[in-house]
């Protein structure tokens, strides 16, 4: 006598792809925050009530009101407008810094994992040397050498996060290159370039995508940190880190100058982290049960 197991959720009704990820409340919240962040980046000129650079000394240090919903800074500039425009700097940092780390790190990881031997030894020793430095210290050294500025701070952060992508992809490539389909393609005469780009890389990038999402929040924090220290975006740029630096001297008398940029950083980082955790759970078969 056999026992029939009935699937409580028919295959035709099982959520797939993005719907399966969004079943989690945390994933939906993370995606919503990320989408709002992206929309504000595009719509900042339409949503912001004032020009973020316009000064009105008669409104200097004005508390939140109907005229200035998030208050005004020491120069009378509208804080809501400056926070909204700060989303552009944050998104630019994510695209440039995280993109640079992703491109360079994946290239190094792919080459070292696929070829092995002296190629792997040289690349991994360089990666280990970079990892030996604390992240913030290395970023400070690079920015100090290149000079302060948003572009240089993004390059520094990209270099700092490159080794993490390199090590992760190398581990994936070492596992994938021993797969049967890779061996079969090699036996059929596929070139090394074709094996790397057609078979090994596409089957190794899932953890990389998850890491890129999680690292996006860290990039926002690191960029704001360098700007806070005066090494990132320079005044009067409406960068969140620079806004925090402006507000530290007025925190007891004008708390809104530092509070709202800090909340913006918190929400964006929270959104990326929640979305990254959801993607990790979705792609990890041990967590998807």
**Each residue's pLDDT expressed in tens, for the chain with a length of 289 residues:** 444 444 444 444 444 556 666 677 878 888 899 999 999 999 999 999 999 999 989 888 999 999 999 999 999 999 999 999 999 999 999 999 999 999 999 999 999 988 888 988 999 999 999 888 888 888 889 998 888 899 999 999 999 999 999 999 998 888 888 777 777 887 877 777 888 888 888 888 888 888 998 899 999 999 999 999 888 888 888 999 999 998 888 888 899 999 999 999 999 999 999 988 888 877 765 554 4
In a domain, 17, yes or no: no
CATH code where residue 192 lies: 1.10.3720.10
In a domain, 103, yes or no: yes
- Per-residue H/E/C for the chain: CCCCCCCCCCHHHCCCCHHHHCCCHHHHHHHHHHHHHHHHHHHHHHHCCCCCCCCCHHHCCCCCCCCCCCCECCCCCEHHHHHHHHHHHHHHHHHHHHHHHHHHHHHHHHHHHHHCHHHHHHHHHHHHHHHCCCHHHHHHHHHHHHCCCHHHHHHHHHHHHHHHHHHHHHHHHHHHCCCHHHHHHHHCCCCHHHHHHHHHCCCCCHHHHHHHHHHHHHHHHHHHHHHHCCCCCCCCCCCHHHHHHHHHHHCCCCCHHHHHHHHHHHHHHHHHHHHHHHHHHHHCCCCCC
In a domain, 159, yes or no: yes
What does the pLDDT read at residue 1? 43
What does the pLDDT read at residue 18? 60
What does the pLDDT read at residue 19? 66
Residue 133, domain extent = 23-255
In a domain, 203, yes or no: yes
Count of domains observed in the chain: 1
What does the pLDDT read at residue 284? 64
In a domain, 272, yes or no: no
**Tokens 């004008």 sit on residue:** 254
In a domain, 104, yes or no: yes
In a domain, 89, yes or no: yes
In a domain, 220, yes or no: yes
Question: What's the start-to-end Cα distance of the chain, in Å?
Answer: 29
């Amino acid at each position: 006598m056999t026992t029939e197991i009935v699937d409580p959720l028919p295959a035709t009704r099982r959520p797939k792809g993005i719907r399966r990820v969004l079943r989690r409340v945390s994933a939906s919240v993370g995606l919503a925050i990320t989408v709002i962040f992206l929309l504000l980046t595009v719509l900042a000129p339409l949503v912001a009530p004032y020009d973020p650079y316009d000064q009105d000394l008669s409104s200097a240090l004005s508390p939140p009101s109907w005229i200035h919903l998030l208050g005004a800074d020491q120069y009378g500039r509208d804080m809501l407008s400056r926070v909204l425009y700060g989303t552009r700097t944050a998104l630019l940092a994510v695209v440039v810094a995280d993109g640079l780390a992703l491109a360079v790190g994946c290239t190094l990881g792919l080459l070292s994992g696929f070829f092995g031997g002296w190629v792997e030894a040289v690349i991994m020793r360089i990666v280990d040397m970079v990892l030996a430095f604390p992240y913030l210290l290395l970023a400070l050294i690079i920015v100090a050498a290149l000079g302060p500025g948003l572009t240089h701070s993004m390059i520094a952060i990209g270099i700092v996060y490159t080794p993490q992508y390199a090590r992760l992809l190398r581990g994936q490539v070492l596992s994938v290159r021993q797969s049967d389909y890779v061996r079969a393609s090699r036996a059929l005469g596929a070139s090394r370039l074709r094996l790397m780009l057609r078979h090994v890389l596409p089957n190794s990038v899932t953890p990389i995508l998850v890491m890129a999402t999680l690292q996006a929040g860290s990039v926002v924090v690191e960029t704001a940190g360098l700007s806070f220290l005066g090494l990132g975006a320079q005044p009067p740029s409406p960068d969140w880190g620079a806004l925090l630096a402006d507000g530290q001297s007025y925190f007891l008398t004008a708390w809104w100058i530092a509070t709202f940029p800090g909340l913006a950083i918190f929400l964006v980082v929270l959104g990326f982290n929640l979305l990254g955790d959801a993607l990790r759970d979705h792609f990890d078969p041990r967590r998807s049960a």
